Structure 1
Amino acid sequence: MSPTFSAQTQLGWQAGMLSARPGRPGEPPLPPGLHLMSGGGGSHDADAESALFVPPGTAGAALPLVVLLHGATSHPAQVLPILQGEAERRGILLLAPKSREYSWDIIRGDFGPDIAVLDRLLIEVFEHFEVDPARIALAGFSDGASYALSVGLVNGELFSRILAFSPGFLVPGRRSGKPAIFISHGNADGVLPIQRCSRRIVPQLRADGYPVDYREFAGGHTVPADLATAAVEPLAPAPGS
């Protein structure tokens, strides 16, 4: 059954605020593998394509969680490979929502529909899994990275870490907490050029007092495997490391 949200919670969505918080699960965990999730949004195609990857061998443990946001005109199946191998190796839950339109709501104007879906998805994950509240990250690539920065800074009391792979911008607004931020960007990015994107974003974040681990690399609009590894390492060191 879909949760019922108060008028205050729904008003908060318009400011990018999420109400979901980890706690004691009320349902059994989902088995390892990839699961499609509706986010409580009915039969809308965009909701139905959201996905949760459950790593093997994690029963009984408080797990780290990464929410991974796709780029414009993309979908979860295209963004999951960026971190799925690391999630499997390190025992990380990996949630990949699907935007309701071609990209995330704030990029088209205002927060709202996608925040509502993300809230529902997080509630569902927390209902099935014990998630470590100190190890919840919001990540994204391209437009998803811009959205991860924007939403993550609004919800810094929920997300301890933000992973932004080739972001374009971040929107001003309410801020909470001081999440650690990882940003990577290719110096030959032809989609979101580094000079007008990350090289502007990073100094702004540092001036605002956020701890930023910034990695430039030789390449284009992509996520090198070694930087994906570096981004998630603080959440869950690999076995034997």
Structure 2
Amino acid sequence: MVRLVLFDIDGTLLNTGGAGRKAFRHALETVFGIVNGTEGVEFAGRTDTGLVRQLFTMHAIDPTRENAGRFFDAYYFWLDYILERHPGNPCPSAPEFLRMLRDLPEAPTLGLLTGNVRLGAEIKLRHFRLWEEFRTGGFGDDSEDRDQIAHVAKRRGSQLLGRELSGDEIVVIGDTPLDIACAKAIGARSLAVATGSSPVTDLMRHHPTWAVEHLGRVTPEAICAMSSQ
């Protein structure tokens, strides 16, 4: 039986209309005076800390803890500001799916597996009243490497539940090939959803356990039975 379900955020739960990218761009300008500093940078599937390292290298910014702290303080401000004015939308069926999972008789623990830093994830999800659905997770400030974040999320979920979880007890839900790879890194099952930038046919090439167009195409009961598939 599945005991832990780990969700990606952007493109899986939420479509924020590029709020993260915009907040990064504004933070670079606010703190370092760099205009359009994110141009040409690929954000999909990346970790926030990895993006900051890349941007600091691109713009010859000294990668000190102080500079990173100043950047993220500005990023949090701008992310909240942008979402207040242009909130975007939840991905199709995502809020309903979360609540149906939560209401199952033997409900799994819900967690996050995301490249967002923790406070950025919280800001995004609170705007949609979804933050309180999650009890644990791995975040972009845990590592630049998404596979390592997956290991952190698995460890924290195991600690929360009081025993070491096996891969068969975990499902990772995400919208990119990187999310599928994260599941494989911890021996978990994966549900790929085509609510981001990758269509189902592209996701299937990476051999997820399941792939669907959106979360309305699968039932919570089926997710919790995935370990027996």
Shorter-chain TM-score tier: 0.3 to 0.5
Counting strand residues as a fraction of each chain, which structure ranks higher? 1
> Normalized against structure 1, the TM-score is what?
0.39
Higher CA-based Rg: 2
Ranked by relative contact order (alpha carbons within 8 Å, sequence separation 6 or more), the top structure is 2
